[in-house]
Amino acid sequence: MKIVRNNIIPFKGYKAINIFGILFVRGDATLSSADIKHEEIHTAQMKEMLYVFFYLWYVIEWLVRLVMYRNAHTAYRNISFEREAYMNQGSMSYLQGRGRYAWWKYLKGGGNG
């Protein structure tokens, strides 16, 4: 994964953002191996959804979750892509055994096994 350090992207308050498989990291922010794995999981999700559909689904699902939870951060944490990434970011071998569209099982809050 290509990592680009800069002081413009992401905006202040965030340490990293994955755009089309390139990880933009804020200044001297420290990334853990779990942070990098989290973003690698997002890159796998993007690739299988041909990038554009990933972003489209992401925004639509966030809007639906925002209506459900009435809290932007809670909505973000409950997006299926984020659920998959957060639940598996500690497993360094997760991507080797990950099936295509694995995020789908996290859509309704599942994914525990």
Nearest to 42 by CA among 15, 74, 82: 82
8 by Cβ neighbours in 10 Å (0-12 / 13-18 / 19+) ranks as: exposed
Residues of the chain with pLDDT under 70: 110-113
- Domain residue ranges in the chain: 30-106
Report the 10 Å Cβ neighbour count for 100: 10
The whole-model pTM stands at 0.93
pLDDT of amino acid 13: 86
pLDDT of amino acid 113: 43
| Residues in CB range of 100: below 8 A, 6 or more apart | 48
pLDDT of amino acid 36: 98
Residue 66 CA to residue 46 CA, distance in Å, equals 22
pLDDT of amino acid 111: 60
pLDDT of amino acid 2: 97
